[in-house]
Structure formats: structure tokens, C-alpha cells
Amino acid sequence: MRQLSLIVNPAAGPCPRRARNLVDRLRELCPDDEVLVTESPGQARRWAAERRGRPDLAVVAVGGDGTVHEVANGLLGGGAMLGVLPLGSGNDFVKMLSSPRDPEQAVAWFRKAEPRRCDVGEVMLTHTDDRRERHLFINGLGVGLEAVVANSARNARYLKGFARYLVAALWHLALYKPPRMQVGGSDGEALRRQFLVAVGNGCCAGGRFRLTPDARIDDGLFDVCRVDTVSRLRLLRILPSVLSGRHTRFAEVRMSRVAAMDIDCPDGCMVHADGEVLAEEAVEIRVRVLPGALPLLG
């Protein structure tokens, strides 16, 4: 029977008591497996990296999208399989999976489920101070407004769950000044102001915003949603339809599928991946798909 290593982020859930109860329940259900509880950022990634060479092991991220992001980054390049048991506020990536949400059912399912191969995104960033960084993501990457909203929601103290993202989105719609971007690199379109560029491996971001509703995690492509500068009133008209993925019918919303994308932002723009802010002022963003790069349960 397959061994499990469950990496729990107790800070991911909206209710600390629920997280503690879940840890206790997992230890009851998995007396012969690891149940590891993180205490600091980056710990989940380090633990996953230490276990990635075991193809007989399922490493289960128990938390939100940030926890999934860390565990997936640690596992990439090895044979260990990724599983997800949601505990966080957004829980976007797990919407692409068929794995159970009930802990007892999920543990039994992780032991016997057949793995599939999941695409992973790679982004190369250049900051305004010429620093260059490489990051990986599993659900999605956002440039511009989406990254600003994700950052505000992540730092909100008095709201929980989807409410954090909705309030942040409404607030920044009123205040945000879209930066100039050139999408497609030097051979791309002209420099223009854009509210957002959302690069989706998964279909959902921010808890319920289905920015890339038709995305698949195993097709070797990103789905991309772009919105040019439009009036605030028009954006308020479009916003509710994003919850159902019907925003694609509006002329101001441009959808495409790509295996790679270059974005140049000479004034600097914020970038997030899987809800984690990677840059506050990136000037060059190079994104590409790594097809089937990660073994996944679900």
C-alpha cells in the first residue's frame, strides 16, 4: 500500500481550531505515515524536496494554494506524487481535481489512486534593479490588477475566504492605474495599458474568479485572459460574470491559448503565482509550460 507524507500548513485555514482538529484526525487515520506541520514559510517546500526522489510516496499538501505551490515546487524533478487536501481560503487548484475533500475518504483514495501527469508553469522574471529569478507555478500567474488584488487579499486581517478577494477587487477597481505592457515580446503588439494578464494552468483564481474557465492542467498549454484599459463602470459590468466564467463574451476580454508568452512592462508591474507575490516591479516576464512535469493524484 502506498505510503503518505502529509504536509499541513495550520496557518492556511480560516479557523485555527479546525486546522488543529484536522492534524489530530490525520494522525489517527495515518499512524504509520508522516504528518508534518509547518511552522515557517518555505518549510513545506524543503520537506517536499527531501522526499521527491521516492516514486512510491504521495506527498499531500494540506492547506491552501500557497501550500500547494510550495509542495509542488519541492517535488518537481522527482518521482514522488502530489496530492491535495484543501484547508485554505481560496483552494483554487483543487477545483481541477477529483480527489475527495473528506479526510478519511481522501486518505484511502490517496493510497490507491492512479497518478496522472500535470503541466507546470515556469516564469523568468527581471526586476527593475536587473535581478533575475526563476519560479514555478502550478495553478496560475497574474500580472497587473490580479496580482495587486491577490497581494491585498493575502494581507487582509479582518476578512476571510472569498470575501477578502472580492473586497480587494472592488477597492482596486476604483484606484488602480494600469501599467503599460507589451505582450508577445519584441515582435508582439504595441505597448499599451492593460488592467490584467491572467495566465491559467487551472481555471480559477481568487477563490471563485473563473478567469480561464476552459483551462486544463494536462493539455500542454496555458489559457490566457487579458483585459485592456476600459472604464470603471464597464469593469463593474464585467466583474460579476467572471464568477461563472461568462466574461469571455465581452469584447474587451481577450482569450487565447499559448505554450509560452513574453510580457514587457517598462514601468514595472506586480506579479503573483498561485497567490504568492513574486515581484512588485517586474519589467520582463517570460512564461512557458513544462508539459507533464509533475506526477499528480487527482
Q: What is the DSSP string of 6-42?
A: EEE-TTSSS-HHHHHHHHHHHHHH-TTSEEEE--STT
Task: Give me the catalytic one of 133, 252, 276, 280.
Answer: 276
Active site residue 104: no
Residue 249 DSSP SS3: helix
Secondary structure class of 84 (helix, strand, coil): strand
Q: How far apart are CA 4 and CA 30, in angstroms?
A: 8
- 32-37 contact pairs (CB < 8 A, 24+): 32/3, 33/3, 33/4, 33/5, 33/6, 34/4, 34/5, 34/6, 35/6, 35/8, 36/5, 36/6, 36/7, 36/8, 37/8, 37/10
Contact (Cβ atoms closer than 8 angstroms) between residue 218 and residue 118? yes
Return the active site residues: 276
